[in-house]
A and B are shown apart, each in its own frame.
Chain A
Amino acid sequence: MVTLSTPPSKSDITEPVEASQEVTPLPFEQPLVNLQDKIDELASAGDDLSVDMNAELTRLRKQAADVKEKLYSDITPANRLQIARHPQRPNFLELVRAISPNTWIELHGDRGGSDDRAIIGGIGEIDGRPVMLVGTQKGRGMKENLHHNFGMANPEGYRKALRLFQHAEKFNMPIITMIDTPGAYPGMDGEEKGIGQAIAFNIREMARLKVPVISVVLGEASSGGALGIGVANKIYMLEHALYTVISPEGCASILWRSAEHAARAADALKITADDLMAFGIADGKITEPFGGAHHQPKVLANRLQIALKEGLSDLASASGEELVEQRYQKYRHIGAYELVDAE
């Protein structure tokens, strides 16, 4: 028996998920960074002057731990937005490699003349079960990000994704999609090629798929660009991931007439994993390592793998018709409305 297993191509992954690197602090973590600087300074000063700073150092270290605890227990949606967009946050291909370490065969192209690099898809293996993995890809660093267009897909990307979904259905492969996108790319070309139609068509056709579909929100899932690969039987969100109708910046610039109110918009829009579970949209939350997934990508990948295995086995016994019906009922019941008095 020949085992087909190709590692992801070099051009797509530069940093393996295992590599632990210096973590860049986020703006909201600044108080902690200041304290840490002070501790380092004191420690080295103490060494130089041979003065015992231990008492002071212990006090400061305790203070730092308290500050850290407080930062994360009072975490706001705007803080989560920073974590979700952290440049070192694990991206789709890194997680694919972690959850399907031996198998990854990327399938390219929409068969219409293009291979959008913002949406990547291919076949992987989870627990010995072949799965179709499709996700929006954010790069690591400027060069990769330009290559993947910052995870903002064009119509070709959605059409490629649809081709892969239908391929998966033909061969009875469960589908796992991972979403991390600021939205579809707002370009002239995209409008001419029907970006709206491409997303709409994917929504309709994903509703008809007779195989299990699980969708995981990795970072930010914004607007229709997320839905184009997001119609699923189960939706999971990473702890700090956000699912929103419009980016908080976009919302603020329309409703408050200034993007400076993005933090308020992030709060008002109710876009966290807990909010979405309360609305009956998300079905599960995957807890991240303390401080965010970028601190311990491997731990996160393990938890993701466990969640996916569970989700897949939950759906494994359902027939194609049952899956379609379950998906229909899931979305059918989302919404809030009232009866108003007749005039």
Chain B
Amino acid sequence: MSLRDWFAKKKQKARLNADGVNRKLTDDELCSIWVQCYSCNATLPRKAMEHNQQVCMECEYHFRIGASDRIQQLFCQEDDTFIELNANLGPADPLTFTDTQPYRKRQVGARSKSDLNEAVVTGIAKLHRMQEPNDDAADTPPTIDEAESFALGIMDFDYLGGSMGSVVGEKLTCLAECALKYDLPLVIFSSSGGARMQEGTLSLMQMVKTGTVLARLHDAGLLYISVLTEPTFGGVTASFGTLGDVILAEKGARIGFAGRRVIEQTIRQKLPNDFQTAGYLMKYGQVDRVVHRHNLRHELLELIRLHRISSGKTPKAVSQGQLLDFEVNPSPFLLTPDAEPVPV
């Protein structure tokens, strides 16, 4: 899917029915105009919230956002590009898992809720540095030096709680392998409840799969920035989420390994209100920086620039055709319940 499609879809969703102007609006329609802040209960105009990157104008509460909003916010300069990888990789049902409803049915629900085939979007990004508003050179177009290319993964909580199953593991591993080949820095935005139960131990092993490819990235001296966003828990925290050379946490995000309720039940005491929030984790030395959403793009670009200059690792040029090498060809790896397991 191209960047243009992302925007088109988003717009279509937001478009209001013009007939509704002269009659009393239904609740649904009201909700399409106004949103209420979860934190301070302020009623906020949806359009303005979109403009403010889904950050409450009253209390600075950062609303949880999905992959498409994130992409829209990051790729705000005209020449910014994003080439998506493995967009059509979707989940199988290796355990033929059924709880209160079949996993296949949950996949369908998740797909319509999130507009995605899986809980992560990956691709190669090129972002251009913002021009300073008061800069004299503001009208001159940005030069190549003012852009940064990097491999980008964005998780989406709306797809089954951003849970990591085989596809999330595979897409991120392919992304990291692509970064390795073309000397690209890697940036992953996490937002996940943890490993996906419906794929059992196969999900658990994705933690190792992503961890081992990051070992290679580490050995190759490439930069990996992990951005932890609301919420990041379980298997993601205990694998690629906390393996960043630099770990950024979005303001107010809840981040942890075990869930708050599980901990409270285990230790039988009340936890502090700010427990497992971004600020709390920074206080305990677990993240490098807590970043306001409005500054995130700028900080990422600065970090990438500084590490690029000092390490001397400049991304190699990569064409869209070359990226096809990192599109998964599922035949050698595909496991179906009837198929013989792949020998390792």
Chain B window 186-220, contacts with chain A (Cβ cutoff 8 Å), 1 for yes, 0 for no = 00000000011101111111111101111110110
Check B344–A329 contact: CB distance below 8 A: yes
Instruction: Confirm or deny: B173 has a beta carbon within 8 angstroms of a beta carbon on chain A.
Output: yes
Check B205–A281 contact: CB distance below 8 A: yes
Instruction: Confirm or deny: B20 has a beta carbon within 8 angstroms of a beta carbon on chain A.
Output: no
- The contact of A255 among B89, B100, B170, by CB within 8 Å, is B100
Check A188–B271 contact: CB distance below 8 A: yes
Check B212–A336 contact: CB distance below 8 A: no
Instruction: Confirm or deny: B185 has a beta carbon within 8 angstroms of a beta carbon on chain A.
Output: no
Chain B: which residue is nearest A225 at the CB level? Answer: B238
- The contact of A341 among B88, B275, B342, by CB within 8 Å, is B88
CB neighbours (8 Å) of A255 from chain B are 99-100, 197
- The contact of A196 among B92, B201, B212, B242, by CB within 8 Å, is B242
Shortest CB-to-CB span from B299 to chain A, Å, is 21
- Distance in angstroms between the alpha carbons of A204 and B245 in the assembled complex: 13
Chain A: which residue is nearest B236 at the CB level? Answer: A196
Chain A window 2-38, contacts with chain B (Cβ cutoff 8 Å), 1 for yes, 0 for no = 0000000000000000000000000000000000000
Chain A: which residue is nearest B285 at the CB level? Answer: A194
Check A337–B89 contact: CB distance below 8 A: yes
- Distance in angstroms between the alpha carbons of A341 and B238 in the assembled complex: 32
- Distance in angstroms between the alpha carbons of A201 and B316 in the assembled complex: 29
Contacting A at CB under 8 A, from B221-260, are: 234-235, 237-243, 256-259
Contacting B at CB under 8 A, from A108-128, are: none
Instruction: Confirm or deny: B262 has a beta carbon within 8 angstroms of a beta carbon on chain A.
Output: yes
Chain A: which residue is nearest B91 at the CB level? Answer: A337
CB neighbours (8 Å) of B133 from chain A are none
- Distance in angstroms between the alpha carbons of A223 and B196 in the assembled complex: 11
Shortest CB-to-CB span from B160 to chain A, Å, is 11
Q: Tell which of B37-45, B141-149, B289-297, B328-336 binds the partner.
A: B328-336
Kindly list the 10 A-B residue pairs having the minimum CB-CB distance in the complex, ordered from nearest: A335-B166, A196-B237, A186-B258, A203-B211, A340-B90, A255-B99, A336-B94, A207-B212, A224-B238, A196-B257
Instruction: Confirm or deny: B341 has a beta carbon within 8 angstroms of a beta carbon on chain A.
Output: yes
- Distance in angstroms between the alpha carbons of A207 and B176 in the assembled complex: 15
Question: Is the interface on chain A under 10, 10 to 19, 20 to 34, or 35 or more residues?
Answer: 35 or more
Chain B: which residue is nearest A223 at the CB level? Answer: B204
CB neighbours (8 Å) of A244 from chain B are 200-201, 204
- Distance in angstroms between the alpha carbons of A186 and B269 in the assembled complex: 13
Contacting B at CB under 8 A, from A240-280, are: 243-246, 251, 254-257, 265, 268-271, 275-280
Instruction: Confirm or deny: B49 has a beta carbon within 8 angstroms of a beta carbon on chain A.
Output: no
Check B88–A200 contact: CB distance below 8 A: no
Contacting B at CB under 8 A, from A183-206, are: 184-188, 190-197, 199-201, 203-205
- The contact of A227 among B88, B208, B241, B276, by CB within 8 Å, is B208
- Distance in angstroms between the alpha carbons of A337 and B119 in the assembled complex: 13
- Distance in angstroms between the alpha carbons of A204 and B92 in the assembled complex: 27
Instruction: Confirm or deny: B343 has a beta carbon within 8 angstroms of a beta carbon on chain A.
Output: yes
Instruction: List 13 A–B pairs whose Cβ atoms lie within 8 Å, in order of A's numbering.
Output: A186-B258, A190-B257, A195-B258, A196-B238, A200-B238, A245-B196, A246-B197, A255-B197, A275-B200, A328-B216, A335-B202, A337-B330, A339-B330
CB neighbours (8 Å) of A184 from chain B are 257-258
Instruction: Confirm or deny: A159 has a beta carbon within 8 angstroms of a beta carbon on chain B.
Output: no
Check A334–B100 contact: CB distance below 8 A: no
Instruction: Confirm or deny: A309 has a beta carbon within 8 angstroms of a beta carbon on chain B.
Output: no
Instruction: Confirm or deny: A72 has a beta carbon within 8 angstroms of a beta carbon on chain B.
Output: no
Q: Given A203-B239, A224-B234, does the pair A208, B92 have CB atoms closer than 8 Å?
A: no
Check B207–A336 contact: CB distance below 8 A: no
CB neighbours (8 Å) of B206 from chain A are 334-335
Chain B: which residue is nearest A192 at the CB level? Answer: B284
Q: Given A205-B215, A227-B208, does the pair A280, B242 have CB atoms closer than 8 Å?
A: no
Check A191–B256 contact: CB distance below 8 A: yes
- The contact of B208 among A195, A207, A277, by CB within 8 Å, is A207
- Distance in angstroms between the alpha carbons of A140 and B209 in the assembled complex: 35
Chain A: which residue is nearest B171 at the CB level? Answer: A337
Instruction: Confirm or deny: B48 has a beta carbon within 8 angstroms of a beta carbon on chain A.
Output: no
Instruction: Confirm or deny: B117 has a beta carbon within 8 angstroms of a beta carbon on chain A.
Output: yes
Chain B window 160-178, contacts with chain A (Cβ cutoff 8 Å), 1 for yes, 0 for no = 0000001101100100000
CB neighbours (8 Å) of B238 from chain A are 195-197, 199-200, 203, 224, 227-228
Check A191–B275 contact: CB distance below 8 A: yes
Check B215–A268 contact: CB distance below 8 A: no
Contacting A at CB under 8 A, from B268-294, are: 269, 271, 275-276, 284-286
